[in-house]
Amino acid sequence: MTAPSRWRRGVGIMLLDERKQVFVGRRIDVEDAWQMPQGGIDDGESPRQAAWRELKEETGIAQAEIIAESAQWLRYELPAAARGVRFWGGRYRGQEQKWFAMRFLGRDDDIDLATHHPEFNAWKWVPPASLPALIVPFKRALYEAVLDEFKELLAA
């Protein structure tokens, strides 16, 4: 089998609370792996529509506003060993994502991980600088790029 050569289009959300802490969820399917909400773009869906849908599907959150959008699409590549059927049926070599910074306008009680298809089993607010250490190694460069993209929003 040859390695996939295409990139799956997706979105990511850096959700910020009033202290400029970032929401991360612990994945159900990967032991002790934390990440920001993210996912694929459905057919006929704009990146903004996908970001709103993914945020609601993964966190139950509807109380937010978009405050920034990444200027470019950012990529991460799956490790060769993970490109088989486990991720997207082996069709893609990784994801190419449009990232959105959002301000959380709700209360922590509004966060509900018990969604129709749960992806997270825990969540927390973390300082932005701690994000790369929480993520799986093959996504670290992507998270560093997201931090760089939104650095002005994160400044005190």
For the stretch 25-55, pLDDT in tens is 999 988 888 999 999 999 999 999 999 999 9
Nearest to 3 by CA among 77, 96, 97: 77
* % of the chain surpassing 90 pLDDT: 74
Cβ neighbours, 10 Å, residue 53: 15
Task: Give, in order, the Cα–Cα distances in Å from 108 to each of 17, 80, 98.
Answer: 10, 38, 26
Residues 68 and 47 sit within 8 Å (Cβ to Cβ): no
Report domain 6-154's class: alpha beta
12 in Cβ contact with 146 (< 8 Å) = yes
| Among the listed residues 27, 5, 16, the one whose alpha carbon sits nearest the alpha carbon of residue 96 | 5
Question: Which amino acid is present at 3?
Answer: A
Model pLDDT for residues 74-110, shown as the tens digit of each residue: 999 887 766 555 565 667 788 899 999 999 999 999 9
d(CA 137, CA 93): 16
